[in-house]
């Protein structure tokens, strides 16, 4: 079935294996059903208004398929895909808030608006220049789903939290100590990213992409540049491509070190936090020395990378990665043998492989629940096809499994850094990228540390961005967290939440 669908598709510039297929009003939902039947994963869903169109991107076996549905003139709604892909529900709600193009027979509650603009205003609708400025809209009475019964009560948490954590509202329905239901309300950090892209030049969009979610700067900027280079028919030099991979694995290492320490701390094991914080600082200093930045926000640029690595220090970076891998393995043994840590990790926040498959759990959290998909292996861009990445995976689906995946991927990324340093080709690090024609569109997809990161890009006239839709894997995984907490106690939520470590910023564009 997938082969037949791809045979009717056309190539989409950017990511390897990217194809697009136009759907009529009659076959939009049936085609999505055929795609679902192949076991494909929904990657993203977004809409636009000029003309009214809905797009859905799917990760298939060895391909990335984008299904486009231009609505009939005057029509502003389309059949929902949430019955086929539950993760589509929030994406559809956000798209309706931004463009007014809405899914029929679906959850119609606002997702991003939060009364921040009038109900009739659509930030991404054509001819919308500025916020109408007619005063502050009244706060909306958001209709949470209520749970009733003897002994049931609610605990509202947030949206403002202690410390510097970003805002999110979590409403727990509990009986005794056990959680019956969790309902999230996010969207409080809406930054207007997609509107900002429409005011940005194509050759500067990578800087905004890098700031969609700061912990995934390399992944987002690479995905953006992949899409831009695809529509501009530009090929980055081989050395630049390998340096991008080095930066991406460096970003993965930094995030895993931070998370492994925080997870130990949330389990009451401050020793883990101290040790992994030390290792992360060592790693960030090494990156600063070799690549010129601790956090690589502006390292990936159109046509290549912003600067070359300091050749004489590259062996030191490889040695640093090797040393961190050795120390992390020793700390892993302590985590595995510590009774208190194991008591907190094992069977906490379990997502079974069947539930993960049905809900569309992806990325790191998905691999801990039997969803063995990693773009570096299953749909690799250069140079990953040459690197033979070892895919991590576990079946248990609990906090312990998500910790184990982090340890496995940390070790593999350290190996990849060493191999990239050993095999780094000589040559230039950047080429000029010509201005693509107006209306040209492409897509970039990169396996970030959290999961697949996507950027869909349409060029405007005069070197402008006409439309850019970035997508973080947190869109798929936040709803699964609501299921992971069921049957656990409320005090375990911070630990379970951290084991997913999902992005507020990347989710609330």
Residue 464, SS3? strand
pLDDT at 59 over 50: yes
Residue the block writes with tokens 């790191």: 364
Query: Of the ranges 134-143, 214-223, 426-435, which one carries the lowest mean pLDDT score?
Result: 134-143
Token digits for 322? 């090797």
- Domains of the chain: which residue ranges? 2-104, 235-431
The DSSP result for 42-80, as a single string, is EEEEEEEETTEEEEEEEEETTEEEEEEEEPPTT--EEE-
Q: Would the pLDDT of 4 be above 90? A: no
Largest CA distance in the chain: 71
pLDDT greater at residue 453 or residue 118: 453
Whether the full predicted model's pTM is greater than 0.75, yes or no, is yes
Query: What's the confidence (pLDDT) of residue 163?
Result: 74
What's the alpha-carbon Rg for the chain, to the nearest Å?
22
Q: Say whether pLDDT at 131 is over 70.
A: no
Element (H, E) at 304: strand 304-305
What six digits make up the tokens of 479?
A: 């709803």
User: What per-residue confidence (pLDDT) applies to 338?
Assistant: 97
| Neighbouring-strand partners of residue 453 | 446
Average pLDDT over residues 176-183: 94
Q: Give pLDDT, residue 115.
A: 79
What is the percent of the chain with per-residue pLDDT over 70, rounded to a whole number?
Answer: 97
pLDDT of the residue at 117? 79
Structure-block tokens of residue 447: 């396996």
Q: Dihedral through CA 321, CA 322, CA 324, CA 330, nearest 10? A: 160
Q: Among 161, 152, 158, 159, which Cα is nearest to 181's? A: 152
C-alpha to C-alpha distance for 421 and 424, rounded to whole angstroms? 5
| Cα-based distances in Å from 382 to 97, 118, 178, 241 | 37, 45, 47, 7
Q: Are 327 and 414 in contact (CB under 8 A)?
A: no
Do 403 and 392 meet the contact criterion of CB atoms below 8 Å apart? no
CATH number belonging to the domain at 235-431, selected among 2.70.70.10, 3.30.110.30, 3.90.230.10, 1.10.645.10: 1.10.645.10
- Say which DSSP state 355 is in: H
Q: Which pLDDT score, from 0 to 100, does residue 164 have?
A: 75
Q: For residue 166, what pLDDT band results from cuts at 50, 70 and 90?
A: confident
From 108-117, 168-177, 182-191, 469-478, the region with the lowest mean pLDDT: 108-117
- Tell me what pLDDT residue 190 has: 84
Percent of the chain residues topping a pLDDT of 90 = 85
Q: What is the pLDDT of residue 121?
A: 85
Give the pLDDT of residue 273.
98
Q: pLDDT digits over 67-126, tens only?
A: 999 999 999 999 999 999 999 999 999 999 999 999 999 999 999 888 777 878 888 988
For 278-287, how does the pLDDT look when each residue is reduced to its tens digit (9 = 90+)? 999 999 999 9
Q: Has residue 129 got a pLDDT over 60?
A: no
Candidates 3.40.50.300, 1.25.40.10, 3.30.460.80, 2.30.40.10; correct CATH number of 2-104? 3.30.460.80
- Is residue 486 pLDDT above 90, yes or no? yes
* Average pLDDT along the chain: 94
- Residue range 215-236: average pLDDT? 98
Our measurement of the distance from residue 316's CA atom to the centroid of its chain's CA atoms, rounded to an integer in Å, reads: 31
């Amino acid at each position: 079935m997938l082969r037949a669908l791809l045979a009717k598709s056309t190539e989409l510039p950017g990511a390897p294996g990217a194809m697009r297929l136009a759907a009529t009003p009659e076959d939009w939902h049936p085609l999505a059903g055929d795609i679902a039947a192949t076991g494909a994963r929904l990657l993203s869903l977004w809409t636009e208004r000029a003309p009214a169109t809905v797009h859905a991107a799917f990760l298939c076996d060895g391909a990335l398929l984008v299904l486009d549905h231009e609505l009939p003139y005057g029509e502003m709604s389309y059949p929902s895909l949430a019955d086929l892909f539950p993760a589509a529900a929030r994406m559809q709600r956000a798209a309706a808030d931004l463009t007014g193009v809405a899914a029929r027979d679906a959850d119609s509650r606002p997702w991003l608006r939060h009364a921040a603009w009038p109900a009739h205003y659509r930030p991404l609708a054509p001819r919308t220049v500025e916020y109408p400025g007619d005063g502050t809209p009244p706060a909306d009475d958001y209709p949470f789903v209520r749970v009733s019964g003897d002994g049931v009560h609610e605990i509202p948490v947030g949206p403002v939290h202690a410390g510097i954590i970003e805002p999110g509202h979590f409403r727990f329905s509990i009986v005794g100590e056990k959680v019956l239901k969790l309902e999230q309300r996010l969207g409080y950090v809406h930054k207007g990213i997609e509107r900002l892209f429409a005011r940005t030049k194509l050759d500067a969009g990578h800087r905004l992409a890098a700031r969609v979610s700061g912990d995934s700067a390399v992944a987002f900027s690479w995905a953006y540049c992949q899409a831009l280079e695809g529509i501009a028919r530009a090929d980055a030099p081989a050395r630049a491509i390998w340096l991008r991979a080095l930066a991406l694995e460096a970003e993965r290492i930094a995030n895993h070190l931070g998370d492994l320490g925080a997870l130990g701390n949330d389990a009451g094991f401050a020793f883990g936090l101290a040790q992994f914080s030390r290792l992360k600082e060592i790693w960030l200093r090494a990156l600063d020395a070799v690549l010129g930045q601790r956090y690589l926000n502006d390292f990936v640029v159109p046509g290549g990378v912003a600067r070359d690595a300091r050749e004489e220090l590259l062996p030191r970076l490889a040695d640093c990665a090797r040393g961190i891998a050795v120390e992390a393995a020793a700390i892993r043994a302590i985590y595995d043998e510590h009774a208190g840590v194991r008591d907190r990790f094992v069977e906490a926040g379990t997502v079974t492989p069947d539930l993960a498959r049905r809900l569309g759990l992806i990325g790191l959290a998905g691999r801990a629940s039997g969803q063995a998909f990693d773009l570096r292996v299953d749909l690799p861009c250069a140079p990953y096809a040459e690197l033979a990445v070892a895919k991590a995976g576990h079946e248990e689906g609990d906090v312990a499994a998500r910790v184990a995946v982090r340890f496995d991927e940390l070790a593999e990324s350290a190996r990849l850094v060493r191999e990239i340093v050993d095999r780094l080709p000589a040559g230039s690090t950047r080429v000029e990228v010509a201005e693509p024609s107006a209306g040209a569109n492409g897509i970039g997809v990169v396996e970030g540390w959290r999961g697949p990161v996507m950027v869909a890009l349409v060029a405007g006239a005069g070197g402008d961005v006409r439309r850019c839709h970035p997508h973080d894997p947190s869109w798929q995984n936040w709803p699964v967290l609501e299921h992971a907490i069921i049957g656990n106690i409320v005090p375990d939520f911070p630990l379970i939440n951290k084991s997913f470590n999902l992005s507020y910023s990347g989710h609330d564009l």
